[in-house]
């Protein structure tokens, strides 16, 4: 099995570093981005196997990033897990409409997140 790569996108550095540490301790390679524009650029450059995406981001919000990737034939199959503090039902609906595979609200259980990540990575060639 080739090594899997995850793109973690959040504008809060402590969240990015914590997730990166915990996910890499599971043997999964991580790359990071801190705004929507950087997320799109890193996706195109690095071709990650999965993206963890915050909604409230500088430059381009997570909903728009998700929509741009999901409506692009080259990137539409990359699973996107939206992880956000936005927990209203309307936010979840928007996440679903933009193509997010999962909508996870903060605070979240890290074991559940790791389990969800592994579930999607197992489906990736």
Residues in the chain: 125
Q: Which residue has the higher pLDDT, 94 or 16?
A: 16
- Token representation of residue 125: 């060639």
Confidence at residue 97, expressed as pLDDT on a 0 to 100 scale? 83
Confidence at residue 66, expressed as pLDDT on a 0 to 100 scale? 96
pLDDT digits (tens, 9 = 90+) for 60-84: 999 999 999 999 999 999 999 998 8
- Token representation of residue 112: 């559940």
Q: Report the candidate in 50, 45, 9, 54 with the shortest Cα–Cα distance to residue 29.
A: 50
Range of the domain at 43: 5-123
Range 87-107 average pLDDT: 82
Residue 107 to residue 125: CA distance in whole angstroms: 30
- Dihedral of CA atoms 87, 90, 96, 101 in degrees, nearest 10, equals 10
pLDDT digits (tens, 9 = 90+) for 49-66: 999 999 999 999 999 999
Confidence at residue 105, expressed as pLDDT on a 0 to 100 scale? 85
Element (H, E) at 108: none
Confidence at residue 102, expressed as pLDDT on a 0 to 100 scale? 92
Confidence at residue 87, expressed as pLDDT on a 0 to 100 scale? 67
- Token representation of residue 25: 């301790």
* Domain count across the chain: 1
Range 20-27 average pLDDT: 94
CATH code, domain carrying 26: 3.40.50.2300
41: left (phi over 0), alpha (psi -120 to 50) or beta: alpha
């Amino acid at each position: 099995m080739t090594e899997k790569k995850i793109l973690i996108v959040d504008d809060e550095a402590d969240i990015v570093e914590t997730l990166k540490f915990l996910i890499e301790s599971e043997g999964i390679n991580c790359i990071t981005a801190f705004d929507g524009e950087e997320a799109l650029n890193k996706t195109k450059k690095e071709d990650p196997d999965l993206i963890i995406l915050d909604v409230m981001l500088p430059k381009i919000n997570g909903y728009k990033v998700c929509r741009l990737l999901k409506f692009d034939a080259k990137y539409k199959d990359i699973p996107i897990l939206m992880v956000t503090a936005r927990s209203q039902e309307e936010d979840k609906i928007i996440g679903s409409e933009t193509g997010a595979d999962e909508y996870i609200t903060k605070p979240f259980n890290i074991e559940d997140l790791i389990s969800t990540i592994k579930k999607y990575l197992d489906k990736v060639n």
